[in-house]
Copies of this chain bind each other. A is one copy, B any other.
């Protein structure tokens, strides 16, 4: 049993950590912090947790108590982990940050997209980008994990085999992504109201989105060179789920695309390659840490289409964070992440 803390537990990724960890055999919650809700029982805010964490309440963030944990998750807005991670790491506590604070390797690029200076550039070198399908060995040794964003997870997993094999035109890759509304968090925004977001579909950030540099960084690493990506996210009238539809132009005859994908992910417990020409549904991964993929080559032409679905709150956030935790502490990689999706 290890002890973990959660900083910023009132948002959707915080409660999702609690939901998933309720079934984890090796973890107990030592503290969950929230400045705004300190003192409130977690199951008063999230009644689905009634009976699962008796006595657990949100508390003011207390560095001493957090440092007594084996690992601390940050489920916070950007900037918060910058301020606190260093102290925890010095005291020997491992940090798993679900925010964007340590995802970009370039502190200046971070500052540009987030409109403020990077608060802990000295930690960037030690931070490991927590995509197990790329960095599993480094994750096992890591003390500071930057959990990938939701869109970046889906897009990278869908493109990795094509990029690593250099099969496509690297200047013109398109990621058309559709996300449920929890991607916008639990903040009270008019645009996220049921009355505004339901029964409608719209793009947003088509001319620039904060996940763009993160995706580009990941794609470039896989391809060994810069990748020209057009990324258009869309707000979809559902609670959870991301559907990434990825388009690339083949530059050489690729051989058996299906075999390529199956082999690339053969040993990956969180990636499921469906039969060629399938159409994965986001609901098939709802509540789970699985990324489900399918490959298409319409009309046998030179365009390859990859369909990738994840649950933005699980494989796109809290589930992947736990997958990282499991690797860091030598647990079964999918401990706490085994339940099938809720369907229907």
Binding site for B on A (CB under 8 A): 12, 15, 18-19, 22-23, 46-52, 172, 174, 176, 178, 180-182, 186, 188-190, 192-204, 206-208, 228, 230-232, 234, 236-241, 243, 245, 247, 249, 272, 274, 277, 279-288, 290, 292, 296-299, 301, 303, 305, 307, 309, 338-344
Contact = CB atoms under 8 A, between A and B. Distances in A.
Given A12-B344, A281-B47, A284-B48, A238 B188 contact: no
Given A201-B282, A234-B245, A237-B237, A195 B172 contact: no
A277 to B, nearest CB: 5
Instruction: Tell me the number of copies of this protein.
Output: 4
24 contacts: A19-B342, A19-B343, A49-B340, A50-B272, A174-B174, A176-B176, A178-B178, A186-B195, A186-B196, A188-B189, A192-B193, A193-B193, A198-B238, A199-B283, A200-B282, A200-B284, A202-B281, A202-B282, A203-B245, A206-B279, A206-B298, A237-B237, A247-B247, A286-B342
A217 to B, nearest CB: 16
A249 B201 contact: no
B343 A176 contact: no
B237 A243 contact: no
Contacts of A203: 243, 245, 279, 307
B181 A22 contact: no
A22 to B, nearest CB: 5
Nearest to A186: B190
Contact of A280 (B47, B238, B243, B298): B47
Contacts of A245: 176, 203, 232, 234
Contacts of A280: 47, 202
A305 B231 CA distance: 10
Max count, chain B CB within 10 A of own CB: residue among A46, A189, A284: A284
Contact of A237 (B194, B207, B298): B194
A142 to B, nearest CB: 27
B344 A239 contact: yes
A205 to B, nearest CB: 8
Contacts of A298: 206-208, 230-232
Given A195-B192, A281-B201, A206 B339 contact: no
B301 A239 contact: no
B178 A186 contact: no
Contacts of A197: 194
A341 B339 CA distance: 12
Contacts of A272: 50-51
A48 B340 contact: yes
B48 A341 contact: yes
Contact of A277 (B202, B207, B301): B207
Contacts of A340: 18-19, 22, 48-49, 52
A194 B19 CA distance: 20
Contacts of A339: 22-23, 339
